[in-house]
Amino acid sequence: MLYLLYDYLEHAHQHIPLLNLLHYLTFRAAMALFTGQLVAISMGSRFINWMKVKQGKGQPIRTDGIERHVLEKKGTPTMGGFMILAGLAVGTLLWADLTNINVWVVLMVTTGYGILGFMDDYAKVTKQTTAGVSSRMKLLVQFLIAGLATLILIRLSPASSTMGNFSTSLSFPVFKSLMIDLGWFYVAFGAFVIAGFSNAVNLTDGLDGLAIVPVMIASTAFGVIAYLVGNFVFAQYLQIHFVPGAGELAVVCGSVIGAGMGFLWYNAPPARIFMGDTGSLALGGLLGAIAVCTKHEIVLGIVGGLFVAETLSVAIQVLYFRRTGKRVFLMAPIHHHYEKLGWSESTIVIRFWIVAVVLALLGMATLKLR
């Protein structure tokens, strides 16, 4: 919004020196971070108290889990994702270039998944059960939203001036010239990336602070990636594909980081509120959509490797149990396995944060390894 004001004044030849700062993407990303954090923290205690009144008994906890885990978290309100989404929305709408198609596609996915997550949380709270919206219905809606978002990107995104129109192509890290045109199959692939990562973050959200910090770390990595692939000079220097307009997603990433910091203030152990599916589905979808916009879908699997590992642990557990009647892990997702081994919650969370940082650095390193 402020960027559009700056652009209007520039075209009207009304020069205001202070507004020149809005020309710089890095400044707007930093301000989006600050704004997102301010909004989330400001909602804070009042929102949590209001949710306690509205939700009564709070989020139901799995009874087949760790007994200590159930007792400590019982009655904690959920839907804290609203705090994150509010900070994200205000930060992005205030500081991003609202004529950029990438920004609107990411916001569309985030909003759609946020609404779906809210419906799931609402069903769980009102029925006091861990079963909300059916898994089949959630997957169907997720794939429809993600498929539409991918289709919009293919139809409306500008072509790269260095590599031609590659909107349906899959790029690979390390190999600078290797790209495979998937044709219209790319719609299904893009939908799989967005929906799959949404569910991966959702599975990871099981301990206080476990999901939000890795989301912030991944957002930082993709904020850098978006800035670089959206800058023709840097893209040429690093020998990576240039994606016109992708740099604006750095502002969105800044908003996510700021809003996440504000939410973490209240979600740090012992959590006063959980993000719920309202937050986890939306944030996972957001990261998936940014990866598709920047053509770094495979790198997302590296940067967000922690989320991938959590998802694989569930898949392995289910498939192995169906075939043999035995379990590979004491409990899935894998963070619960370590709880069963006797690790404290804070130990698991902090060590998983460390893993997330290392994986994010590895993902960003692929930008230079060509």
Instruction: Give, in order, the Cα–Cα distances in Å from 96 to each of 2, 23, 54, 91, 233.
Output: 8, 11, 34, 8, 21
pLDDT at 131 over 70: no
Q: Which of 358, 361, 339 is nearest to 348 (CA)?
A: 339
pLDDT at 162 over 50: no
Q: How confident is the model at residue 92 (pLDDT cuts 50, 70, 90)?
A: very high
pLDDT at 258 over 90: yes
Give residue 156's pLDDT.
Answer: 82
Mean pLDDT over 296-310 rounds to 96
Q: Please state the φ and ψ torsions of residue 169, each to the nearest 5 degrees.
A: -100, 150
Give residue 68's pLDDT.
Answer: 60
Give residue 282's pLDDT.
Answer: 97
Mean pLDDT over 291-298 rounds to 95
pLDDT at 75 over 90: no
pLDDT at 66 over 80: no
Give residue 101's pLDDT.
Answer: 94
pLDDT at 74 over 90: no
pLDDT at 177 over 80: no
Q: How confident is the model at residue 163 (pLDDT cuts 50, 70, 90)?
A: very low
Give residue 271's pLDDT.
Answer: 87
Is 273:296 a contact under the CB 8 Å cutoff? Answer: no
* Percentage with pLDDT > 90 across the chain: 65
Q: Which of 132, 137, 111 is nearest to 120 (CA)?
A: 132
pLDDT at 140 over 90: yes
In angstroms and rounded to an integer, the radius of gyration of the C-alpha atoms of the chain is: 21
Buried-state track 80-112, b at ≥16 Cβ within 10 A, e below 16: bbbbbbbbbbbbbbbbbbbebbbbbbbbbbbbb
Q: How confident is the model at residue 285 (pLDDT cuts 50, 70, 90)?
A: very high
Q: At what angle do helices 249-267 and 81-95 cross, to 10 degrees?
A: 150
Please state, in angstroms and rounded to a whole number, the distance separating the CA atoms of residues 62 and 130.
6
pLDDT, tens digit, 9 for 90 and up, residues 2-26: 766 656 566 655 666 666 778 889 9
Minimum mean pLDDT among 71-80, 293-302, 314-323, 345-354: which range?
71-80
Could you give the residue ranges of the DSSP H alpha helices within 56-80?
67-73
pLDDT at 198 over 70: yes
Q: How confident is the model at residue 164 (pLDDT cuts 50, 70, 90)?
A: very low
* Percentage with pLDDT > 70 across the chain: 86
Taken as a whole, the chain contains a residue count of: 370
pLDDT at 114 over 80: yes
Q: Which of 28, 276, 283, 266 is nearest to 132 (CA)?
A: 276
pLDDT at 326 over 80: yes
Give residue 84's pLDDT.
Answer: 96
Please state, in angstroms and rounded to a whole number, the distance separating the CA atoms of residues 46 and 51.
9
Q: Scanning the structure block, which residue is given the tokens 């219209």?
A: 184
Q: How confident is the model at residue 369 (pLDDT cuts 50, 70, 90)?
A: confident
pTM of the prediction? 0.91
13: left (phi over 0), alpha (psi -120 to 50) or beta: left
For residue 62, the tally of other CB atoms under 10 A from its CB is: 12
Give residue 53's pLDDT.
Answer: 76
